Every structure is written in structure tokens, then in C-alpha cells.
Chain A
Amino acid sequence: MSPSYLAQDPTLADFGRDPWWLVLIKIVFAFAFGLLATLLGVWFERRVVGYMQVRPGPNQVGPFGLLQTLADGLKMAFKEDILPKAADKVVYFFAPTISVICAVTALSVVPFGPMVSIFGHHTPLQVTDVPVAVLVLLACSSMGVYGIVLGGWASGSTYPLLGGLRSSAQMISYEVAMGLSIVAVFMTAGTMSTSGIVAQQGHGTELTIFGNSIPAPGWYAILLLPSFIIFFISTVGETNRAPFDLPEAESELVAGFMTEYSSLKFALFMLSEYVAMVTMSAVTTTLFLGGWRAPWPITIWEGANSGWWPMLWFFGKVIALVFVFVWLRGTLPRLRYDQFMRFGWKVLLPINLVWILVLSGLRSIEDWDSRGKLIAVGIPAGILLVATLFWPNRRPQPKPTTQEQVDNRPYGSFPLPPMDLQVPPSPRITRVVAEREPANIATGSDSREV
């Protein structure tokens, strides 16, 4: 880990020095970024999915249909605001606000760019940064579950309740995978502040494997490829996006947790979903794709990483990731819920833990001699082999016959009707038989019975 920060890289000491009006400008900017990203993101998604399905998508309102989302939002504001009879009034009212607040607050620690000069103040292009910035991000994304689960529960209806529960189970399952995948980032960067992680990705680290020194590129997406893949899969699960959009699977649950919501409350749920998607793309960019740093061909130009330019690279990377989100939606079918949970708990979690152990092991034997390395690698490999051999598997049990299942039922179960039960006709039902003379179409070779 080399602490040679470049001049334009903000450090933690640069934060908390802004005057109040500059803080206000930055806050309003981040908030406007969230709203604008939603307005354009919905349009972008509909257009891209449209092209993928060989149809134009929205193209009437404004140039290229850009104002479509704005028009939809305005329309939604003048729709009737329905408060269902069975709803828990207070919770139903506040649930959308929780979702929005959590999604937007996460933007506060996303670095948009390096040190710039705003009205004579030398300040980082980031709302704020704290030593535990990534924890703030994780906290916001997990608090967002409350908005969804409370909204589903408070609606007092079956589909929203199931959607909310599914969503909470899904988000906490993928939260585990997501939390574990960024341990490798902290280990490599040695910090949890977002600006620090971006600064660490600025220079290629020297990766030493078995005596060979390989100059590796600085982006953690390349350096820590397994972490990046797991993190991106988890963000798709965490933001309830296709193919993991089970909480709002329209073929099963109508619209999931927002079935009973209408008008601006529904709009707020949509807003929070898209802000969360954009925030997650920004976080992925920050943690794995070098943040606001210019990608390789542009770095040949000296001034690429200073001034206001980095914001352009940052937005470019975010848009590329949002495109991947949309691409996934346009390509993959929705998973079944049990497959989805199995994938999270039985695939992502163990791979994550093993990867962390392997990485930390490699890092701690970096400067040993070759014999020590051989022992250090051989023993864990042997243990792993033995563990794989004796991995507990559920023994297949013979399926009991129907009679055995009936006999083994606990005391006090519902009485079972016999298998050959003849259901007597209900006395209330009178069978109506229409008398009708057979139609006479005995022409040609048509031999259908009428």
C-alpha cells in the first residue's frame, strides 16, 4: 500500500471545512442528481428495452421522448390518492418516505470528482466523506427494506404483504453477500472512506504471486474480480431489479408491495427504486471501477483526472452500469424464489468466505520464502480437499407412501376424508337441464356430433 496520493485527490482532512452555503449547494446538487437520474433513468430504460424488443419506446413527449417521465410524474400527482379501508393509516402514509429518504441519503458519500474550485473555495466534489463512509452506504441500503416491508404490511392486503416479506428476505440475504464481497476492497485499500478507496485505485498495485511481480492495474474490478462479480450480482438482488425482481413479480403478486399504492405515493416508490439503482451503480463505480478516474485511453491526456472533467468519466461509468441493469432486464427471465434464495445462501456466501480467506492468506505470505509459501498454501489446500470429501449432504430418504403419511399425522390433526369419498350432491343445487332439439346441419361430409 503506497500512500502517495496525487495532488487532486481529496483526503479525509479535506472534508468538514466547507462553509455552510457550499454544503447547501452540494446537498442540493446531490439531491437534484438523484431526481434527474430517475427522470432520465426511466426514459433510458424504456428506450433501451424498447430497442431490444424491436419497438421504438416512448418518443413523443419532448425531444426523443425525454420528457415522458416528467409527464408521467405530473399525471400521477393528479390521480386519486386511495387509502384502503384495511390499511394501517399512519404506517401506510410514511412507508414511501422511508424508501425515498434511505435511497437519497446514500448519495451523500458518493465521490463525484476530485478537488475543484467553487467560488474560490478549494473543495472536493463530494457532499461529504467520513472514515466509515461505506458503512453509511450499507446502512442506507438496508434501512430501505423498512419502507418496503412496512408498506407491504400496512396495506392490509395479501399480495402486498407477501411482496413485502419476499422483498425483506431477499434484501437481507443479498446484503450478506454484498457485505462480504467488499471486505476484500477494504483489505486492499486499507480504508473505508469512499474518497480514500478511489485514491487507492489511482495507482497500479504491485501484485506478487510466488515470487513473480506483476504490475496490476489499479481498478479493483480487475484486481478483485470475484468480489466485483459477487458485488454486482448482489446489487441487482438488493435493488429488486430483474432477474431478481421477485417482490414485484407481476405474474404472481400483481405489483408486490406497491399494489395498494396510488398517486404520488406510488411515484415515490418508483423514485426510490430508480434512485437506488443509480446509487448502487455509483457505489459500484466508486468501489470497483476507479470512481471518477478516467479509463485507460483517456489517461494519456495529462489533465484527464483534474478539474471538472472527472465528473464526466464518473457519469459515463454510471450510465454504463445502468445500461447493464437494463440489459439484464431485457435479457434474463425471472428466477423462481427458491432458486434465488439458494443461489444467495449456497453459492455466493461460501464462495465469498473462501475468497476472503484465500486473498488474506495470499496477502499475509507475500514476503515469505518459497518453502514457507509452499507449506502455507499446501496445508489449507489439503484441509479444503478433506472438507469437500466429507461435506455433509442430505441423505435421500425414501418417500413415505400415502398410507404412512396418513398414519404418521400428529394427534389432533384435521380428520381426513377417505380416498374413495363420493361427494353427495348439495340439496341446494337444482340441476337445470335445457331441453333443446338437435340442430339439423346434416349437409356435406361434416360428421360432427351436435
Chain B
Amino acid sequence: MSLSPYAPIIGLFALAAAFSLFSVGAARFAGPHRYNKAKLEAYECGIEPSPQPVGGGRFPIKFYLTAMLFIVFDIEIIFLYPWAVSFDALPIFGFVEMVLFIVAVFVAYAYVWRRGGLDWD
């Protein structure tokens, strides 16, 4: 009996999951539990923790922008991979097509650069 080549990936995944779930579960029982109110507060270097807003709070918009840019370039990468793997089988037309595609994304990149989307501050 032989397994699909994808099965061992699931197997390693399951083994790692079992190990890590056992560890986080065992941590509840292995260690001591001595109640202390200050211990359960958020750690802020010893000062009174600043109140957290309901629902997780706000964070700088920069992180959001980075995530959006990531999607643009990740999609570009996804298009590049099959092209790169079958590069030798493609005629020169395949190369020209990819140059056009990369240049198109590059225009967007230059626009983002110009508008300051890549500046962190």
C-alpha cells in the first residue's frame, strides 16, 4: 500500500499539531498556580496598564497600506512562477508578454513611490 505524495505533509502537520497542543495543554497542569491580581494585568514595565479600547483598538494605517501593497506584488509573483517554470518551453513572445506585465506593475510601483506610500514616516 502506498500513500499519495501529499499525505506525508498532512502527517507532519498532524504530528506537529499533536505535539504543540499537548504542550500548551500540559502547561496548564504542570506549573503552579498562585493567584496575584497584578500578575494577570497587562505588562507595561511596572506602571498601571493603560486602558485598552473595546474591540482591539486602533493601529497606524501604515500597516494596512503595507498589506494592500503586498497583495499587489504577491499576485505578480503568482503570475511569475508558472511563467518561470515553463520558461524554456515558451517562445520569445512569452518573454515580451512578461516584460509588458512587469512594466505595467512597475508603473503602479512608481506611482506608489511618488505618492509616498513606501515612506514609513
Contacts and interface: CB of A to CB of B under 8 A. Distances in A.
How large, as a class, is the contact surface on chain B?
35 or more
A109 B9 contact: yes
A321 interface: no
Given A79-B31, A254-B45, A392-B114, A108 B5 contact: no
Interface string B5-22: 111110111011101110
A158 B48 CA distance: 12
Contact of A78 (B31, B34, B56, B66): B31
A264 B30 contact: yes
A105 to B, nearest CB: 5
Given A157-B42, A260-B42, A183 B27 contact: no
Nearest to B118: A345
Contacts of B73: 176, 180, 349
Interface in B29-77: 30-34, 39-45, 49-50, 52, 56-57, 59, 62-63, 66-67, 69-70, 73-74, 77
B77 A267 contact: no
B67 A183 contact: no
Contacts of B102: 353, 356-357
Interface stretch (A128-136, A294-302, A437-445): A128-136
A307 B55 CA distance: 58
Contact of A128 (B8, B21, B42): B8
Interface stretch (A237-245, A282-290, A359-367): A359-367
A293 interface: no
A103 B59 CA distance: 27
A84 B49 CA distance: 12
Contacts of A128: 5-9
Interface stretch (A57-65, A185-193, A215-223, A309-317): A185-193
Interface in A1-52: 1, 12, 15-20, 23-24, 26-28, 30-31
A268 B3 contact: no
Contacts of A192: 81, 85
B67 A169 contact: yes
B84 interface: yes
A172 interface: yes
Contacts of B31: 77-81, 263
Given A109-B9, A394-B116, A31 B16 contact: yes
Given A23-B8, A158-B44, A168 B63 contact: yes
B20 A97 contact: yes
B77 to A, nearest CB: 4
Interface stretch (A336-344, A406-414, A415-423): A336-344
B87 A175 contact: no
A105 B9 CA distance: 7
Contacts of B11: 23-24, 27, 108
Contact of A356 (B44, B80, B109): B80
Interface of A: 1, 12, 15-20, 23-24, 26-28, 30-31, 77-86, 93-94, 96-97, 100-101, 103-105, 107-109, 127-130, 135-136, 153, 155-159, 161-162, 165, 168-169, 172-173, 175-176, 179-180, 183-184, 186-187, 190-192, 254, 259-260, 263-265, 267-268, 337-338, 341-342, 345-346, 349-350, 353, 356-357, 360-361, 363-364, 391-394
23 contacts: A18-B3, A19-B2, A23-B11, A31-B19, A81-B33, A86-B49, A93-B24, A97-B20, A100-B20, A105-B12, A105-B16, A108-B11, A136-B9, A173-B66, A176-B74, A186-B81, A190-B85, A254-B45, A265-B23, A342-B118, A349-B73, A357-B102, A360-B84
Please list the 6 inter-chain residue pairs (A to B) with the smallest Cβ-Cβ separation, ordered nearest first.
A157-B42, A338-B120, A264-B27, A16-B5, A104-B16, A97-B20
